Amino acid sequence: MAIKQLQQEVDSWIKKYGVRYFNELTNMAILSEEVGEVARIISRKYGEQSFKESDNKDLGEELADVLFVVLCLANQTNTDLEKAFKDKMDAKTIRDKERHVNNPKL
């Protein structure tokens, strides 16, 4: 599914079930919370922290939560995320086309 379609799907869901978007500052706080949940899973699964019984969340589900809030923020700030992502990939390609290939650490 294209990013533009994802943005439209989120917007339709908000209008049908969500009443309205939370304001941008609230969504930014929610995004921080969701990224923290992703960090918790990563630190326990791939890092040195041990799991607790309450840590049985699914990484895919938490990443989807992050994506949902990012799409909300894009919608409510009238950001065409698909275009922004394409522009970012173009800029990264120009800037980094040889950077990583020539990195002896990789």
| For residues 28-41, average pLDDT | 97
Residue 35: which of 13, 67, 4, 58 has the closest Cα? 67
What the chain holds in terms of domains, given with CATH numbers, is: 3-96 (1.10.287.1080)
Query: Is pLDDT of 53 > 90?
Result: no
pLDDT-based confidence at residue 74 (cuts at 50, 70, 90): very high
38, with CB counted inside 10 A (0-12, 13-18, 19+), is middle
d(CA 37, CA 62): 7
| For residues 64-91, average pLDDT | 98
Query: Is pLDDT of 18 > 80?
Result: yes
pTM: 0.90
